[in-house]
Amino acid sequence: ILHSGRYGYHPFNVAPSAIKAPIGWFTPRKLSSSAVDRTIRDYAECAARAREAGYDGVEIMGSEGYLINQFIVEHTNKRKDQWGGAYENRIRFPVEIVKAVRAAVGKDFIIIFRLSMLDLVEKGSTWDEIVVLAKQIEAAGATIINTGIGWHEARIPTIATSVPRGGFSWVTQKMKGEVSIPLITTNRINMPDVAEHIIAEGHADMVSMARPFLADPDFVRKTEEGRVDEINTCIGCNQACLDHTFKGITASCLVNPRSGYETELNYTPTDGKPPHQLHVQRVAVVGAGPAGLSFATAAATRGHEVTLFDQADAIGGQFNMAKVIPGKEEFYETLRYFEKQLKLKGVNVKLGQRVEVSDLATGAFDKVVIATGVLPRSLKMPGADHPKVLSYIDVLRKNAPVGKKVAVIGAGGIGFDVAEFLTHVGKSASSSVDAFAQEWGIDTTNSVRGGVAGIKPDVPAPAREIYLMQRKTTKHGKDLGKTTGWIHRLSLKHRDVNMIGGVSYDKVDDAGLHYTDKKGKKQVLAVDNVIVCAGQVPLRELEKPLQEKGVTVFRIGGADEAGELDAKRAIDQGARLAVQIETAKPGDPLSAAPTLSAQVFEFLGKFQK
């Protein structure tokens, strides 16, 4: 049961005090005392309706900086009445909510209270205050306490892929012994072994997961049946779940496009018999990157005969570059999943083989799917062929030597990844709780206010001096995901990456990169290398010759639309084509229709600006 308070995306939001959130669009209206009472009754009414509808319990969201959290912390609660001031007054709201809910639902109903145990904001709660609240929540009638980590406005990642698996279970462990009811821990628990370890080590009594079930709704069944290697692991990217939510788009999943669209993306069997009467297609897929893998496995699941070609000696395409970026190691799991699915579904995989038109136009295939991806866009300026100039593929896939002073041209997702790759020193923080806490300034004893007061990020000195450059005058990484873009920007800031915008590129020579700055002044960066991350072009060389031979050809992923590399779109396109391959025509749209809520959010965004 969630009331977002000042985080509401509308001009009618409310809060304990009229203080605008740093990430909010609108200043909230202060709740009157009678409105506070009414809101408490609303929580109870909501729980009663849940019981009437057949639920066994409810969870009350008291963390992440939402309304209840806003009452608890003095930073957001400046009231002078019985709901503000002293700490016992500020926690009256959550305690009264739990009491009211218990009275409404009776004794034999589960009430989980999600308690913010680590605010990750400078003026958050102290640990002693959190313990006091936990005990009062138990006394008020809660059955279980869940662990909330961080306010949404906190500038520390809590659930992104760069967070270590189970990286905050230590917070829950600290609460053990303070209350007698069970404790749940949460955040970045995405595989069964992670959950088992947390419970075995006594960090918590239970674990909470959400996004892993978007990635694989059969997570529990596969675990029970000993098929852990078949789990489609949540990679913590947030691109199709949280990012969609904040745009009013149906929440889904990058690695599982069926999530949220189960009634549209039905993998109906193609046995040729009633009631399906759909005929098996012999399909060649060229390219074993995200789009090709998605189509091949989904089409084979439906019973089609799929042959997957790739000139590389391993599947994955662009995933093989993403997985080497510090903090993005979860892509190894995605590749493991697809490799297993190709075997289980009987896809004929032909790697290390460059396929030609003559191989595809023999009549052996009913249809051909081009998923050949993209090529880096080349620099069009004097010196583009200078030895200093490298592409991102040279760096990430071919391990080209890179000097100590580097200009990265292009500040989109690829440019950010390359900058992260080149500046990183030592072990990835995503694999170590202590290293992560040190890098982001978290007190792992939770002895300072909010777990962060007075703690500064401590990042190893970067391996290189990086200049991240773009033609645009807008914020670097402007088009990165809403819920993760700030993480990438802060990470590079911690590594002293110089961000330069509004430039035009003049030439590259032995002296380095010559450019004109946003004031029109000529500049020279004396760099050892210039790495080009300035866009891509689709690779479609097979399409036209095949069409001329009368072959039905579809294109998906980067081969269809290059733009910024987008695994979410690529995987989604592959799945959508697979469910309609019998009747689809080249050029048919392969995306979900925009929702009304998305259009409303877009309008509100313009109104807010």
Catalytic residues: 66
- CA-to-CA distance for 18 and 588, rounded, in angstroms? 49
Q: Is the dihedral of CA 524, 526, 530, 534 positive or negative?
A: negative
Is the distance from CB of 420 to CB of 325 less than 8 angstroms? yes
Three-state DSSP at 369 gives strand
- Count CB neighbours of 20 within 10 A: 13
Three-state DSSP at 105 gives helix
- Count CB neighbours of 242 within 10 A: 19
Token output for 492: 């590079």
HSE of 573 in the Cβ direction (CA atoms, 13 Å)? Answer: 26
- CA-to-CA distance for 483 and 241, rounded, in angstroms? 10
| Residue among 164, 248, 246, 155 at smallest CA distance from 198 | 164
Residue with tokens 């009913």: 366
Residue type, 109: F
Burial of 468 (0-12, 13-18, 19+ CB in 10 A): buried
- CA-to-CA distance for 570 and 561, rounded, in angstroms? 9
Backbone angles phi, psi at 284, to 5 degrees: -100, 130
